[in-house]
Chains A and B, each alone.
Chain A
Amino acid sequence: MNNKQFLTELSGKCQMSAEQVAGQVQALIGVMENLWQNGDSVSLSGFGVLEVKKKNERVSVNPTTGVRMLVPPKLVLTYKPSSILKDKLK
């Protein structure tokens, strides 16, 4: 399902125009991004948790050349599905 199909389905469900839905989606993502940048996590029952995690720096070795690289620490947005959603998968 691509972005267009997603927006169409969302506009059908919310009975809103396509432009309105697109604007709201942008607003929602913007709101969530602000939360993540403040270190908060977005937790929705039945869906899961979207949060930012810090990955520590590490030394990786290129297996072919044996060159050792120091990979810097980084912040990554992670998603952990809720157990309800996981159960539905089975």
Chain B
Amino acid sequence: MDNKINLSQLADLLAQAGGMSKAASEQFVKNFFDIISQNVLTEGIVKVKGLGTFKLIQMEDRESVNVNSGERFTIEGHQKISFIPDADLKERINKPFAAFETVEITEEQAASLGEMNQETSNDKSLTTKITDSMEKGKETEPKKELKESKKENAQKCDSGKCKKAIIWSVAGVLVLALLIILLWPVIGGKALKKADKDAKEKAPAPAVVKPEPKPAAAPAPKKEEAKFTLTKADQEKALPLFTAADTVNYKIVGTMTTHTMVKGDMLTTIALKYYGTKKLWPYIAKYNGLKPRQFKRMPVGYKVKVPKLANK
């Protein structure tokens, strides 16, 4: 592994494989590469069957910036030797990774990937699990869940490439389920609270885009997608008092009261206090014109206006 093989070592190996003397082999290898390098300079192209094509290509002038001084300067056009390996050789070299295919990323997967990232921040050992199950996706997938996610993906893609996509999303769901199962006995009596907390941790990201009290026609398909995965995840956590979908069903109709932040207060705790659910906190953020970076760092003594909400 990772050895640099030079001319004489290569000649030795060729002598073993090709049945020539070492001296003849060395001469042969030398000539082989001499001819390539000479002819690529004189003729511009050398094709060797089984190896590939060496070619002179013209690079255009281009602008660049000196990283030290920040000055702009032009890199003069020049010629470059390119090498394109033979298609067969290329395939054989790539054999260890041949099983992978290019996968189309759907919105849903982007959302579930985001979920996974949040989960991993809770439990770092999961990272390896996720990659593991992605690679071994085929063996680990249970058929029941495959069907389920097939249904989800059916509208999006029908092609064979989709298979990989399904495996990925199955892996995601699987890991999620695994985590819940693992955590369940630990949580025990506090199950509901813990699940609530989990959901809170999940809620902010997708919920941030939703606080605008616009008519239902407004949300783009992307938002609906996110909403869907969220509610699904919530159902898995068995705590559907308020689903994320509920958070868009209200409009702001004035100020209910003003709340002064004390130590330990967060937007979610305020929402819990006045509305009875943490999930309506985006309305407070929206009403006070808060920026996302302010959500988590509300100074003590800050006066927050709590909006009055009414059903749409």
Q: A6-B48, A41-B5, A43-B4 are in contact. Are A71 and B93 (CB under 8 A)?
A: no
Q: Which residues of A contact B2 (CB under 8 A)?
A: 39-41
Q: A43-B5, A70-B105, A77-B85 are in contact. Are A24 and B39 (CB under 8 A)?
A: no
Chain A 26-51 interface residues, beta-carbon cutoff 8 Å to B: 26-33, 35-50
Interface residues on B, range: 35 or more
Q: Which residues of A contact B37 (CB under 8 A)?
A: 46-47, 85
- Asked whether B47 lies within 8 Å of A1 as measured between CB atoms, the reply is yes
User: Contact partner of B13 among A31, A36, A43, A75, CB < 8 A?
Assistant: A31
User: Contact partner of A6 among B5, B24, B39, CB < 8 A?
Assistant: B39
- Asked whether A39 lies within 8 Å of B1 as measured between CB atoms, the reply is yes
- Asked whether B3 lies within 8 Å of A40 as measured between CB atoms, the reply is yes
- Asked whether A76 lies within 8 Å of B93 as measured between CB atoms, the reply is yes
Q: A13-B35, A47-B37, A88-B41 are in contact. Are A27 and B5 (CB under 8 A)?
A: no
| In the bound complex, CA of A36 to CA of B95 (Å) | 12
- Asked whether A23 lies within 8 Å of B94 as measured between CB atoms, the reply is no
B21 at the interface (CB under 8 A from A): no
Q: Scan B35-47; emit 1 where CB is below 8 A from any A CB, else 0.
A: 1110101010111
Q: Which residues of A contact B100 (CB under 8 A)?
A: 57, 72-74
B31 at the interface (CB under 8 A from A): yes
A17 at the interface (CB under 8 A from B): no
- Asked whether B103 lies within 8 Å of A75 as measured between CB atoms, the reply is no
B90 at the interface (CB under 8 A from A): yes
B101 at the interface (CB under 8 A from A): yes
Q: A10-B31, A29-B50 are in contact. Are A1 and B43 (CB under 8 A)?
A: yes
> Nearest-CB distance from A11 to chain B (Å)?
10
> Nearest-CB distance from A21 to chain B (Å)?
8
- Asked whether A6 lies within 8 Å of B35 as measured between CB atoms, the reply is yes
Q: Which residues of B contact A40 (CB under 8 A)?
A: 1-5
Q: Which residues of A contact B1 (CB under 8 A)?
A: 38-40
Chain B 1-50 interface residues, beta-carbon cutoff 8 Å to A: 1-7, 10, 13-14, 17-18, 20, 24, 27-29, 31-37, 39, 41, 43, 45-50
Interface residues on A, range: 35 or more
Q: Which residues of A contact B97 (CB under 8 A)?
A: 72-75
- Asked whether B13 lies within 8 Å of A45 as measured between CB atoms, the reply is no
Q: Scan B218-230; emit 1 where CB is below 8 A from any A CB, else 0.
A: 0000000000000
Q: Measuring CB to CB, which residues of chain B are less than 8 angstroms from any residue of chain A?
A: 1-7, 10, 13-14, 17-18, 20, 24, 27-29, 31-37, 39, 41, 43, 45-52, 54, 56, 78-83, 85, 89-90, 92-97, 100-105, 110
Q: A24-B28, A32-B10, A69-B103 given. 10 additional CB < 8 A pairs?
A: A14-B31, A24-B14, A27-B17, A28-B14, A33-B89, A33-B92, A40-B4, A47-B34, A50-B83, A70-B104
Sample (19) of A-B pairs whose CB atoms are under 8 Å apart: A1-B43, A6-B36, A6-B47, A9-B39, A13-B35, A24-B28, A27-B18, A28-B29, A32-B10, A44-B10, A45-B6, A47-B37, A71-B102, A74-B97, A75-B97, A77-B83, A79-B81, A88-B41, A89-B81
